[in-house]
Structure 1
Amino acid sequence: MPASLHVSLPDDLRRFVDSRAGDSALYATPSEYVRDLIRRDMQRLSVEQSMLRGLDQAERGEFVADDFLGRLIDDIG
């Protein structure tokens, strides 16, 4: 069962969220919009971590471009 998270937003942020969710918007509900934002942030973090691991490997002389690109594509996809 999904857990609820209640968030207080200032009026300007609430208006923005409302503009992104509803009958004429991409998202049906504010919750759907927020879930998508969180998923995108998780994906961005995963890509960022892959890039940092690749830089660390490169500094140690262990960098293999195909391995790095494969992981990066997996993280993006």
Structure 2
Amino acid sequence: MSTMNISLPESLKAFVDEQVSGRGYGTSSEYVRELIRHDQDRQRLRGLLLEGASSPAAGPADSGYFEGLRERARSRTTG
């Protein structure tokens, strides 16, 4: 695992320390790693949303569309 050193103003360092102790992280590194993972997930989701928004519409999202989704969900939980 690589090491990265960061400098924080005292107010941010105090905030990180509070998060570590109050939310059950073992170290400040664990907290920062989780923040980075959340940001990666957010960026991945944003990319998927932009990709979907720029793709052509597959058809109307009417009651038939949603019923089809329900059927697919039911078939996955029963089989």
Q: Under a length normalisation based on structure 1, what TM-score does the superposition of the two structures give?
A: 0.70
1:72 — aligned with what? none
State the AA in 2 paired with 1:29. T
- What 5-or-longer segments of structure 2 have no aligned partner? 62-79
| Alignment root-mean-square deviation, CA | 2.1
Q: SS in structure 1 opposite 2:52? A: helix
Match of 1:27 among 22, 25, 28: 25
1:47 — aligned with what? 45
- What 5-or-longer segments of structure 1 have no aligned partner? 66-77
Higher relative contact order (CA 8 A, sep 6+): 1
Q: Percent identity?
A: 37
Distance 2:29 2:14 in 1: 14
Deviation at 1:28, TM superposition (A): 1.2
1:3-41 CA deviation, whole Å, 9 max, x = no partner?
00000000100000000113x532111000000000000
Please state if 1:15 is matched with 2:14: yes
1:33-68 CA deviation, whole Å, 9 max, x = no partner?
0000000000000000000000110xxx25578xxx
Which structure 1 residue ranges, 4+ long, deviate > 2 Å from structure 2?
Answer: 61-65
Closer/same/farther in 2, CA of residues 63 and 3 from structure 1, 3 Å limit: farther
State the AA in 2 paired with 1:4. T
